[in-house]
Amino acid sequence: METEPHFIRCIKPNDQQQPKLFIESKVSPQLRALPIMKAVQLRSVGYSYRRPFADFLRQPRFLNISAYGKIAGGLLGSSTAGGAPREGALALLQRAGLKEYKDYRMGLTMVSLTREAQQQLLQQQREQLLLLRPIVRTLEAICLRRDLKKSLETHINSIVRLQAHVRRQLLLLEMRGHSAAAATAAAAAAVAAANEGVSRQQTAV
């Protein structure tokens, strides 16, 4: 199931809280401050998807992991990281085979894509993830083993106490079993002796 997020810009039309009352001096500054006019212009030419370069790189990052790694390192303050978000976004788009002005536009801080280009990137990433599935499963198994080991280390004392309690109960049951077996053997010996005495009396008679 696919979902698409939508962002709603709220404009305050007047200070009187009256419906259907738009005061131009109140609305115009808000439209300029929220870059709504620029968004409308981009949408009018078909670029419905807009993201800052760093945010854009996080979404289809599996198409160009090396570029994203450099940018992510730079965002985290790594001294060995290189590159810039804009350059990384441009390299990713070119690697995906998209054409500038036809499929995307590069701004100063954001990249804008057509809906078709966005869907193409998502499809390419799905195909790339299918190729990485064996590696992902191996990593998931390693992570699961690590989590289970941590859980075992957390509960090891309780497990040891439980094992000691079980061993103690088994020992008590074994001792009771030996006592019951000894009593049964003694009773059987008494019955055998009594039967032997009866047999002797019958023989004597």
Decide if 67 contacts 57 (C-beta within 8 A). Answer: yes
Helix (H) or strand (E) holding 113: strand 110-113
Q: DSSP for 114-161, please give it.
A: -HHHHHHHHHHHHHHHHHTHHHHHHHHHHHHHHHHHHHHHHHHHHHHH
Measured at the CA of 132, the angle between CA 126 and CA 137, to 5 degrees, comes to: 115
Decide if 22 contacts 11 (C-beta within 8 A). Answer: no
pTM over 0.85: no
Four-residue CA torsion sign, 35, 38, 44, 50: negative
pLDDT values of the chain reduced to their tens digit, one per residue, 205 residues: 556 666 777 889 999 988 889 898 988 888 878 777 766 665 656 777 888 888 888 877 777 666 555 555 554 433 334 457 888 888 888 888 888 888 888 888 888 888 888 888 888 888 888 887 888 789 889 999 998 888 888 888 887 888 888 888 777 777 776 666 666 665 566 555 555 544 554 454 4
Residues with Cβ within 8 Å of 87's Cβ and at least 6 positions away in sequence, in order, are 67
Q: How far apart are CA 47 and CA 117, in angstroms?
A: 9
Listed by start position, the domains of the chain span 8-45, 47-134
Report pLDDT for 14: 92
